[in-house]
């Protein structure tokens, strides 16, 4: 795979930004900041690394388009982008729902303390 | 069996949210019917509802959610409390005075007679007084509930219901807000619980009408969204 002859400004920006994001991920993982897992780091590398790769080698999208059977590399990239965003939203909503239920459960336990005191007497 | 003995293990659950203007009147009416076991759950009201309840009668079990978690969550807290206190029959009703406490007896009689495990109060008695918008919302709620749960009931969104304690243990809901009422219908269908629909009246006072306006279309859409989300998530 050859480097593109003319490098555009957007490609430089994306590569620099992706590198910073991947570096941040590694730093957080190595210094063991709370909530940092290998899964999170891998996801970060795949997402930002993928963006940097596509920006550096735009022709790679032809391979992706051919692989998933969609005519036109841009269409394939947009479709994958949509799917990823959809998955992320779904995961986020599930996490919010779980948190909401946990908050309700904690609120309930707190309010039922009074009943527990009555039944103990 | 005397009325006093019969009502001993009946617990009335009232989820309360910003009802300081009407809550004492509602409690007074319930007590006038002879039912003394009342549990109120103030769902993080921003007004003095909780204080008003405590001032009204110290014998009322006044619980409080520190955060607003929704009508469904407050009702569930009340049911849990009633279970801990040894309830045999649990009645849930709205705290804004829409429901007539005189009809509690009609609601719990089929449960006492072992004719059913759940009694659903259906706002059918004075249906012609129901505002058109409310009628349309009610029908839409029934339709969505039927579509999702497979069980058609005349009033899927009514909060005036009675449960035997055995059933209260079985009903497993996740919804914290208005979707709770439809989730109960789903549980009735899934767990093949016996139920009866009891016609009740709704009192459309200026106060309750004001609240109806607050329960706007957005809330309706949120309820539908939550019901669908619970299926796909």
Q: What is the CATH number of the domain that holds B66?
A: 3.90.550.10
pLDDT at B152 over 90: yes
- Average confidence (pLDDT) over B191-199: 95
What does the pLDDT read at residue A79? Answer: 81
What does the pLDDT read at residue B212? Answer: 52
Among A114, B32, B20, smallest CA distance to B12 is for: B32
What does the pLDDT read at residue B214? Answer: 54
Residues in chain B: 233
pLDDT at B197 over 80: yes
pLDDT at B196 over 90: yes
- Average confidence (pLDDT) over B169-191: 90
Query: What is the pLDDT of chain B when averaged over all its residues?
Result: 89
pTM above 0.90, yes or no: no
Residues in chain A: 121
CB A114 to CB B176 under 8 A? no
Q: Which residue range(s) make up the domain with B14?
A: 3-232
Q: How far apart are CA B64 and CA A55, in angstroms?
A: 56
Least confident of B36-45, B65-74, B211-220, B222-231: B211-220
Q: At B3, which helix (H) or strand (E)?
A: helix B3-7
pLDDT at B94 over 90: yes
Which residues, 6 or more positions from B125, have their beta carbon under 8 angstroms from its beta carbon?
B199, B200, B201, B202
Report chain B residues whose CB lies below 8 A from the CB of A103: 67, 69
pLDDT at B227 over 90: no
Report chain A residues whose CB lies below 8 A from the CB of B37: none
Whether the CB of A87 is below 8 Å from some CB of chain B: the reply is no
What does the pLDDT read at residue B4? Answer: 63
Among B200, B15, B3, B1, smallest CA distance to B104 is for: B200
CB B233 to CB A116 under 8 A? no
CB A107 to CB B81 under 8 A? no
Whether the CB of B50 is below 8 Å from some CB of chain A: the reply is no
Interface predicted TM-score of the whole assembly (ipTM), two decimals: 0.86
Q: How far apart are CA B120 and CA B135, in angstroms?
A: 18
- Average confidence (pLDDT) over B65-73: 95
Residue B195 — very low, low, confident or very high, per pLDDT cuts 50/70/90?
A: very high
What does the pLDDT read at residue B211? Answer: 65
What is the mean pLDDT, run by run of 10 residues, along chain A of 121 residues?
Answer: 73 92 91 81 89 88 82 80 86 89 96 83 66
Q: How far apart are CA A116 and CA B134, in angstroms?
A: 40
Whether the CB of A89 is below 8 Å from some CB of chain B: the reply is no
pLDDT at B179 over 60: yes
User: A98 versus B225: which is more confidently predicted?
Assistant: A98
Angstroms from A83 CA to nearest CA on chain B: 17
Residue whose structure tokens are 């780091």? A41
Residue whose structure tokens are 């947009």? A78
Residue B136 — very low, low, confident or very high, per pLDDT cuts 50/70/90?
A: confident
Whether the CB of B65 is below 8 Å from some CB of chain A: the reply is yes
pLDDT at B31 over 90: yes
Report chain B residues whose CB lies below 8 A from the CB of A117: none
Closest residue on chain B to A110 (Cα): B65
Least confident of A27-31, A101-105, B196-200, B223-227: B223-227
Dump pLDDT digits (tens) for B103-121.
Answer: 999 999 999 999 999 999 9
Report chain B residues whose CB lies below 8 A from the CB of A113: none
Whether the CB of A103 is below 8 Å from some CB of chain B: the reply is yes
Residue B88 — very low, low, confident or very high, per pLDDT cuts 50/70/90?
A: very high
What does the pLDDT read at residue B5? Answer: 60
For chain A, the straight-line distance linking the first and the last C-alpha, in angstroms and rounded, comes to 78
Percent residues over pLDDT 90 in chain A? 27
Whether the CB of A104 is below 8 Å from some CB of chain B: the reply is yes
What does the pLDDT read at residue B103? Answer: 95
Provide the 3-class DSSP secondary structure of residue B212. helix
What does the pLDDT read at residue A22? Answer: 93
What does the pLDDT read at residue B215? Answer: 55
Q: How far apart are CA B167 and CA B194, in angstroms?
A: 10
For chain B, the straight-line distance linking the first and the last C-alpha, in angstroms and rounded, comes to 48
Domain count, chain B: 1
Q: How far apart are CA B140 and CA B144, in angstroms?
A: 6
Q: Mutate one of B60, B63, B71 to test the A interface: name it (highest A CB count within 10 A).
A: B63
SS3 per residue for B36-90:
CCEEEEEECCCCCHHHHHHHHCCCCEEEEECCCCCHHHHHHHHHHHHHHCCCCEE
Angstroms from B64 CA to nearest CA on chain A: 6
B102 and B33 Cβ atoms separated by less than 8 Å: yes
What does the pLDDT read at residue A78? Answer: 85
What does the pLDDT read at residue B207? Answer: 77
pLDDT at B134 over 70: yes
Which residues, 6 or more positions from B41, have their beta carbon under 8 angstroms from its beta carbon?
A111, B13, B14, B15, B16, B63, B64, B65, B74, B75, B77, B78, B81
CB B67 to CB A107 under 8 A? yes
Provide the 3-class DSSP secondary structure of residue B119. strand
């Amino acid at each position: 795979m050859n480097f593109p002859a003319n490098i555009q400004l957007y490609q430089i920006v994306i590569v620099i930004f992706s590198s910073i994001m991947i570096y941040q991920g590694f730093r957080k993982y190595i210094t063991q900041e709370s909530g940092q897992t290998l899964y999170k780091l891998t996801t970060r590398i795949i997402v930002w690394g993928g963006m940097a790769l596509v920006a550096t080698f735009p022709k790679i999208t032809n391979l992706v388009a051919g692989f998933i059977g969609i005519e036109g590399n841009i269409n394939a990239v947009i479709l994958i982008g949509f799917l990823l965003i959809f998955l992320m939203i779904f995961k986020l909503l599930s996490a919010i729902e779980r948190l909401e239920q946990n908050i309700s459960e904690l609120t309930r336990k707190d309010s039922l303390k009074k009943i527990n005191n009555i039944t103990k007497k | 069996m005397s009325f006093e003995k019969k009502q001993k293990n009946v617990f009335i659950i009232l989820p309360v949210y910003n009802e300081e203007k009407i809550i004492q009147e509602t409690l007074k009416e319930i007590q006038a019917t002879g039912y003394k076991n009342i549990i109120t759950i103030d769902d993080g009201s921003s007004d003095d509802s909780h204080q008003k309840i405590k001032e009204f009668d110290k014998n009322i079990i006044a619980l409080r959610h520190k955060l607003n978690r929704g009508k469904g969550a407050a009702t569930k807290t009340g049911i849990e409390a009633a279970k801990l206190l040894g309830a045999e029959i649990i009645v849930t009703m709205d705290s804004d005075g829409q429901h007539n406490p005189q009809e509690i007896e009609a609601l719990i009689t089929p449960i006492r007679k072992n004719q059913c495990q759940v009694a659903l109060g259906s706002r059918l008695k004075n249906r012609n007084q129901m505002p058109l918008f409310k009628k349309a919302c009610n029908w839409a709620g029934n339709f969505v509930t039927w579509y999702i749960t497979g069980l058609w009931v005349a009033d899927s969104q009514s909060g005036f219901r009675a449960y035997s304690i055995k059933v209260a243990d079985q009903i497993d809901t996740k919804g914290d807000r208005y979707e709770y009422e439809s989730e109960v219908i789903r549980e009735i269908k899934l767990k093949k619980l016996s139920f009866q629909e009891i016609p009740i009246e709704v009192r459309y006072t200026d106060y309750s009408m004001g609240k109806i306006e607050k329960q706007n279309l957005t809330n309706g859409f949120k309820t539908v969204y939550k019901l669908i989300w619970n299926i796909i998530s």
